[in-house]
Amino acid sequence: MTVRELREKYLAFFESKGHKRFPSGSLVPYDVTGKLDESLLFNGAGMIQFKPYFRGIAQPEHPRLATVQKCVRTNDIDEVGDATHLSFFEMLGNFSFGDYFKNQAIDFSWEFLTSKEWLGLDPTRLAFTIFENDDEAYDAWSLHLRGAGIDPDTRIFRLGEETNYWPAGAFSKGPPGPCGPNSEMFYWVEGTPPPCGLGGNMTAADCVTMGHGEGALGRMSNRTSPNSGRRVRGGLWRRRRRASSWSP
C-alpha cells in the first residue's frame, strides 16, 4: 500500500461514515477563525485548527470532519531517525463535534484497522491502552476482541493520566478546558507471536473523547457532560501506519 492509497482509504472510510473532508491547516498554527495560536511555534496536531470548535466558541458547518494535517514536532527531536519518530509527518484525523462519542469512535477505529475492505490488519496483532478508570472504553474494545476470539485481558491495558489522558496530567492537575481520556491502538511489528504486553508494539492510532472541563479535576466525563459538549478526536499517524502495514 502506498502512502497515497493509505491517505485516500482513510478519507474514503470516514466519508462513508458521514464525515466531510476538511483541508489541512497551515504549519503556522492559525485556527479556523483565522486567529494565530501564539502558544505554538508550529502546527503539531490535527486538532489545532479546530480549537474554537473544541472550546465551543465557534460552531462547525458539519459535525463530522476528516482531515490530513501536515505536522511539525520538535519535542522529541532527539528520537528522530528511529522507526517511529519524525519531525514532519501527516496526521490523519477524524473529528466529531457534539455528534457521536466514545463507543462509535471505537467501532470506527476497529472497522478501519481490521476490515478486509479497509486496512485488513490481523486483530491478533493489535493491543490497546485506555485510561485506568475508563470502563466504557474497556467494554467497547472487549466487545470487538471477543468477537475475534481474543481474550480482552491479554490485549487491553489500563494506564494512568500521564499516558492515557489528554492533555497529560489534566485529570488531577488541570488546567480546565477541553480534556478527556484517550485510547491508543498498537500493532505488533515483529515476526514472532505478539506477547501479552506492549513491548515492541508500534503506535498505530489513537482516540481522544472529551468534554468541556469544569475545574482542575476535569469533571467532563461522557456521563456528566451534555451531548453538545462532547468532542472526539481520532488520529492515525500516516508514516507510522505505513511502516506497520508492511510488517508480517
**pLDDT over 70, % of the chain:** 81
Q: What domains can you pick out in the chain, each with its CATH number?
A: 3-245 (3.30.930.10)
Which pLDDT score is estimated for 84? 67
Whether residue 29 has pLDDT greater than 80: yes
E strands, the chain, in order: 20-22, 64-72, 88-97, 126-131, 156-159, 165-166, 178-188, 201-212, 231-237
* Contact of 238 with 68, CB cutoff 8 Å: yes
- The answer, yes or no, to whether residue 190 has pLDDT greater than 80, is no
The residue ranking higher by pLDDT, 230 or 73, is 73
CB 89 within 8 A of CB 144: no
pLDDT of residue 33: 97
**Average pLDDT value for residue range 218-242:** 49
Confidence of residue 210 (pLDDT cuts 50, 70, 90): confident
Tell me, what's the pLDDT at 246? 31
- Does position 119 have pLDDT exceeding 80, yes or no? yes
Strand 178-188 to 201-212 pairing: antiparallel
CA angle 36, 84, 5 (to 5 degrees): 80
Average pLDDT over residues 125-148: 96
Distance between CA atoms of residues 41 and 105, nearest Å: 30
Given a cut of 90, whether residue 135 has pLDDT beyond it is: yes
Total Cβ atoms within 10 A of residue 197:
11
Q: Residue 196 has what pLDDT?
A: 67
Residue 76 has pLDDT above 90, yes or no: no
Cα atoms in the Cβ-side hemisphere of radius 13 Å centred on 146: 7
Higher pLDDT, 144 or 162: 144
Look over the chain and give the mean of its residue pLDDT values, rounded to a whole number.
82
Across the range 103-117, mean pLDDT stands at 96
Helix (H, G, I), strand (E, B) or coil at 50: helix
Q: What does the pLDDT average to over 66-95?
A: 83
What integer is the mean pLDDT of 64-90? 82
Mean pLDDT, to the nearest integer, of 1-7? Answer: 90
